[in-house]
Structure 1
Amino acid sequence: NVIILPGSGCAPTRSCNHYAWLERALIDRGVTDDVRLTTPSMPDADVCRRHIWVPHCENELRCDANTVIVGHSSGAVCAMRVAERNAVRGIVLVAAYDDDLGDATERASGYFDDAFDYGKIASNCSRGIECVIGTRDSLVPAAIQLALAKKLGARESVSETRDHFFTPPAEEIFDAVKRFL
């Protein structure tokens, strides 16, 4: 199964960024028929607090050893925290980062209150980790995304033309998910 975790402020989820496109592409192209996209939105969609999102992923979205988590922006940070605590098939991190980027809302989310255990995250991903990186990202510098990929020992999928993966289509993300299934 595939779970798509959106970035902050994405409500309703299906109308934001590439999420509905990715869901349809995975189903329509026969990759999987088990795609979980929280609708109308994730709880606490604006701040994406760790103490709300991680349990939601574990209990409501049923992340398990057969799950590929696709996390975008704040959703990528959540995906790492979920994988830190649970065995999953793999994680696709889109526009990911591992510090609060100097942003008060990110700081309030609680994801950065303690250090990430990169080794634990990697070891809990049976098929690995892939970071999808846009070199023209206006919110998360590509250098931060690349450094994170190295810390995780992740495969890097770099697009020289993409910003923060706001708009569909998102073939780079589709291809990354397909590699895990």
Structure 2
Amino acid sequence: MMLVTKSAQLTPIVIICPGNGCTKIRESNWYGTLHRLLLKKSIPCVCENFPDPYRARREKWVPYIRSLVEQNSAADLGNVILVGHSSGAQASLRYAELYPSHGIVLVSATYSDLGDSGERASGYYPQNNGGEESNPYRFDEMKKNCKRWVQFHSDDDPFIPLYEAERICDGLKTGESEEYLYDYQMLPGRSHFFEFAPEILEAVESLCK
């Protein structure tokens, strides 16, 4: 794995965090395409296979993202942009509770596990136990650690209803100021964003400026 030099560290490092089920990340969905396009634009990008690809457990993925940051950041560990899709979006949210980032792009994020036991076992989602929520999202910590967010969702996502994405948006958009910006984009007809979306590339480029 190539270590980004200190001189190149002025440009944030982009780390692509995939959805679950991707055993060959660069051949899955649009991750390899985004990786190639960013490198072509001289934007450093890490696109590596994640451990535990099918369960995508929080206890595995969040530390792995941190390890990628540490291995590829020569100077400022906060000079990183996470691009998280589906389970990767959930891991990016939980990463932001713990560590600073220059920016985060969420693609097809959800608030809850939607009653799926496999998703529940991944450890990302809040649970309602007798009216009290356990494992809550710590949105205040996320906003403290990352000041630039872009979120994408589609109105025809077959897995994640629009209201789930809007709950994430509601948690992160509050308290916006000149220092804190949250951009929510609902792009109709994009399903679960299995195909490359130029808007994602544009969002990453805008965060690099």
User: Which residue in the other structure is 1:166 paired with?
Assistant: 194
Letter of the 1:5 counterpart = C
Task: From 8, 16, 21, give the equivalent of 1:4.
Answer: 16
How far apart are 1:91 and its partner, in Å?
Answer: 0.6
How far apart are 1:178 and its partner, in Å?
Answer: 1.3
Task: From 86, 90, 93, give the equivalent of 1:80.
Answer: 93
User: Which residue in the other structure is 1:155 paired with?
Assistant: 183
How far apart are 1:60 and its partner, in Å?
Answer: 3.2
Give 3-state SS (helix, strand or coil) of 1:155's partner.
strand
Letter of the 2:198 counterpart = E
Q: Does 1:14 align with 2:26?
A: yes
Q: Does 1:103 align with 2:116?
A: yes
Q: What TM-score, normalized to structure 1? A: 0.91
Letter of the 1:36 counterpart = V
- Runs of 4+ in structure 1 off by over 6 angstroms are none
Identity rate, percent: 35
Q: What TM-score, normalized to structure 2? A: 0.80
Give 3-state SS (helix, strand or coil) of 2:20's partner.
coil
For 1:92 and 1:106, locate their aligned partners in 2 and report how far apart those are by CA, in whole Å: 21
Give 3-state SS (helix, strand or coil) of 2:32's partner.
helix
How far apart are 1:174 and its partner, in Å?
Answer: 0.8
CA RMSD of superposed structures (Å) = 1.4
Contact 2:111 2:167 in 1 (8 A): no
Larger radius of gyration: 2
User: Which residue in the other structure is 1:178 paired with?
Assistant: 205
How far apart are 1:14 and its partner, in Å?
Answer: 1.1
How far apart are 1:31 and its partner, in Å?
Answer: 5.3
How far apart are 1:118 and its partner, in Å?
Answer: 0.8
For 1:92 and 1:110, locate their aligned partners in 2 and report how far apart those are by CA, in whole Å: 21
For 1:9 and 1:18, locate their aligned partners in 2 and report how far apart those are by CA, in whole Å: 14
Contact 2:17 2:89 in 1 (8 A): yes
Contact 2:84 2:105 in 1 (8 A): yes
Matches within 5 A, 1:27-106: 27-28=39-40, 30=41, 32=43, 34-38=44-48, 41-62=49-70, 64-106=77-119
| Structure 2: runs of 5 or more not aligned | 1-12, 127-134, 174-181
For 2:85 and 2:15, locate their aligned partners in 1 and report how far apart those are by CA, in whole Å: 11
Give 3-state SS (helix, strand or coil) of 1:22's partner.
helix
User: Which residue in the other structure is 2:7 paired with?
Assistant: none
Matches within 5 A, 1:106-121: 106-112=119-125, 114-121=135-142
Letter of the 1:159 counterpart = L
| Structure 1: runs of 5 or more not aligned | none
Task: From 137, 151, 156, give the equivalent of 1:131.
Answer: 151
Contact 1:31 1:178 in 2 (8 A): no
